[in-house]
Chain A
Amino acid sequence: QSALTQPPAASGSPGQSVTISCTGTSSDVGGYDYVSWYQQHPGKAPKLLIYEVFKRPSEVPARFSGSKSGNTASLTVSGLQAEDEADYYCSSFGGNNNWVFGRGTKLTVL
Chain B
Amino acid sequence: QLVETGGGLIQPGGSLRLSCTTSAFLIGSNHMSWVRQAPGKGLEWVSVIYTGGNTYYTDSVKGRFTISRDRSKNTLYLQMNTLSAEDTAVYYCAQSRLGNRKSFDIWGQGTLVTVS
Tell me the A residues contacting B by CB distance below 8 Å: 1, 3, 32, 34, 36, 38, 40, 45-48, 51-52, 55, 57, 89, 91, 93, 96-104
- How many Å from the CB of B111 to the closest CB on chain A? 11
Tell me the B51-82 residues at the A interface (CB within 8 Å).
54, 56, 58-59
- How many Å from the CB of B107 to the closest CB on chain A? 4
CB-CB under 8 A from B59, the residues of chain A are 1
A101 to B23, alpha carbons, bound, how many Å? 28
Given A45-B107, A98-B58: A91 touches B48 (CB 8 Å cut-off): no
State whether B42 touches A91 (Cβ < 8 A): no
**Set A45, A51, A102: member contacting B102, Cβ < 8 A:** A51
A91 to B33, alpha carbons, bound, how many Å? 14
CB-CB under 8 A from A36, the residues of chain B are 102-104
CB-CB under 8 A from A99, the residues of chain B are 33, 45, 48, 102
Given contacts A89-B43, A98-B45, 17 further A-B pairs with CB under 8 A are A3-B42, A34-B102, A45-B108, A46-B35, A46-B43, A48-B98, A51-B105, A52-B100, A55-B99, A91-B103, A98-B58, A99-B45, A99-B48, A99-B102, A101-B43, A102-B42, A103-B42
Tally of contact residues, B, Cβ under 8 A: 24
In the complex, residue of chain A having the shortest beta-carbon distance to the beta carbon of B55: A97
- How many Å from the CB of B9 to the closest CB on chain A? 19
B44 at interface, CB cutoff 8 A: yes
**Set A34, A57, A97: member contacting B105, Cβ < 8 A:** A57
Contact with A along B77-116 (1 / 0, CB 8 A): 0000000000000001000001110111111111000000
Given A46-B107, A99-B45: A57 touches B56 (CB 8 Å cut-off): no
**Set A45, A91, A93: member contacting B109, Cβ < 8 A:** A45
State whether B100 touches A34 (Cβ < 8 A): yes
CB-CB under 8 A from B45, the residues of chain A are 91, 98-101
